[in-house]
Chains A and B, each alone.
Chain A
Amino acid sequence: MAANTWHRLRDDRGARIAAGVLATAAIAATFAPWIAPYDPTLQPDPVGLRLVSPSWQHPFGTDPFSRDVLSRILHGARVSLGVAAGAMLLSVTLGAALGALAAVVGGWVDGVVSGLVDVLIAMPRLLVVIALVATFGTLSPWWLVALIGGSGWLTTARIVRAEFRDHLQREYVLAARALGASRWRIVWHHLLPAVAPQLAVAAALALAAVIPLEAALSFVGLGVQPPLPSWGNILLDGTDYLTTAWWLVVFPVAAVSLTVGSALVMADRLRVAIAGEERDL
């Protein structure tokens, strides 16, 4: 990204706050085993410590199995954010690659990719993923990454294809061809840097889309399986106690909302910063 966009972002209050939230979540997720006060799967006293409301010893309370909720949220962050990040990277990379291929090679390849996008985009992603997961039964988080990520490449592909096609018409690409640049060189040195800002926005939006997707899957029991905690299944564990043990609902929901909201704010601020850069150029 050009220096100007970076400066613009750095000075942007909204971007700084959003980045801060996401960074905190990432750090919490990475260092969960060291930060978490308790073992998230340990059930020390299923009778005595059951459903304790938030206190000094258990800041987020305990769940129906006497497990410390804070520790579960932290470890859940590892899983939820890990799956989300993985799925996001997969969908953005896959989308960019297919969009680039369609734009640069053109012809029947473009026809196939565009056709696929046009057909698949009409299908609601959540239902597709649920159907796929249900077919395969319970899956490891890696498979979740693959399925969620593999279903999300459509918008990115469209964006990258459109941007590439636009830039391919421009005179500086013609100049590169006149210099003898190979197609690969043009893609790598000219087109990708041109589309990188939009990819950053797409990545932020993708993240905002997959975090709730994984949480929803886990909530209905199709995603991450216990005892591995995820924000979705923490919420699942608490469904029978929604009215009595509010901490079982509030904290997972807050975790999801804060991260998704921050990702969306990031996407928006990126877009504004990019628009400012375009003006300068």
Chain B
Amino acid sequence: MSTLLEVRELVVAYDGRAGQARAVDGASLDVARGETLALVGESGSGKTSLGRAILRLVPVASGRVRFDGDDVLGLTGDALRRFRRRAQVVFQDPNASLDPRMRVGDVIREGIDIHALASRVDANQRVERLLVEVGLRANDAERLPHEFSGGERQRIAIARALAVEPEFLVLDEAVSALDVLVRRQVLDLLAALQAARGLTYLFIAHDLAVVERIATRVAVMQQGRIVECAPTAALFAAPASPAAQALLAAIPRIPW
């Protein structure tokens, strides 16, 4: 399998100034095409900053990010816009990540409009197909976000990300705010979409139990660094780093 994403010695400072405390302190990882790499750590470990830095959403102090061979950090203008089509994101908070004033159809169509991917009519058809693909209804396009539940809003956010036909998706704690049943449904949806569209995922989470189902490999982050990276089964069977051990120990021990 080829490597789609390569991150080397990435450093991200809090509030963007050099010499300040570092959210990401020299992190390195690889993501192979088609795999799901889970990035886990406690809050404050830097995993969200790392995800956002890879997508050029926060300023990077130093390091390298290569996406399909291209240097991501040096991109500007049209090249940067093209990158944004290929690498998308779904955020954690279903209440905050959708513009409350926009109709759902417009929310999903925004990416199509920005990149001029289809005519008006075609765009609306694409939106309806996407809604159905994520498990909602075509006429939901007319409604406003607040009319939907948390799980449904995450589906809308997923549809929005898919509208530009990305190859790579950063899921930034995308199911952490959902209740267990809905979480399972959304995870199943993500797995189905990955298979159908050949997507590559970077799955950021703080809960190892969530990750167990869908990740091929797990990278553990602590204080801005990747302290362990292993295939899922291996990590669960024999975690080497104290951070991984703590995360594993935190999973509730259910007396089956």
Contact = CB atoms under 8 A, between A and B. Distances in A.
Is there direct touching of A and B in the complex, by C-beta distance under 8 Å?
yes
Contacts of B80: 180
Given A171-B91, A171-B96, A179 B55 contact: no
Interface stretch (B35-43, B109-117, B196-204, B209-217): B109-117
30 contacts: A2-B144, A171-B91, A171-B97, A172-B97, A172-B98, A172-B100, A174-B57, A175-B89, A175-B91, A175-B97, A175-B160, A178-B55, A178-B84, A178-B89, A179-B88, A179-B110, A179-B164, A180-B80, A180-B81, A180-B114, A181-B110, A185-B114, A189-B110, A190-B102, A193-B101, A193-B102, A194-B99, A280-B146, A281-B101, A281-B146
A181 B163 CA distance: 14
B157 interface: yes
A185 B109 CA distance: 14
A182 B100 CA distance: 20
Closest A-B pairs by Cβ, 8 of them? A180-B84, A171-B96, A281-B100, A171-B97, A179-B111, A172-B99, A180-B81, A178-B89
B228 interface: no
Interface in A259-274: none
Interface of B: 55, 57, 80-81, 84-85, 88-89, 91, 93, 96-102, 110-111, 114-115, 144, 146, 157, 160, 164
Interface string A2-36: 10000000000000000000000000000000000
Given A170-B96, A281-B146, A179 B160 contact: yes
Nearest to B89: A178
Contact of A172 (B84, B96, B144): B96
Interface range, A side: 20 to 34
Contacts of B91: 171, 174-175
Interface of A: 2, 170-172, 174-182, 185, 189-190, 193-194, 280-281
Contacts of A172: 96-100
Given A172-B96, A174-B57, A2 B110 contact: no
A171 to B, nearest CB: 4
B101 A194 contact: yes
A181 B157 CA distance: 16
Most chain A CB atoms below 10 A, which of B80, B96, B98: B96
A275 to B, nearest CB: 15
Contacts of A2: 101, 144
Given A179-B111, A194-B101, 4 more contacts: A174-B97, A176-B110, A180-B81, A190-B99
B99 A179 contact: no
A175 B110 CA distance: 10
Contacts of A175: 89, 91, 97-98, 157, 160
Given A176-B110, A178-B88, A180-B111, A171 B160 contact: no
B131 to A, nearest CB: 17
Given A174-B91, A194-B101, A281-B146, A179 B114 contact: yes
Contacts of A181: 110, 114
Nearest to A3: B144
Contacts of A194: 99, 101
Contacts of A280: 146
B157 to A, nearest CB: 7
A190 B100 CA distance: 10
A180 B115 contact: yes
Contacts of A189: 102, 110
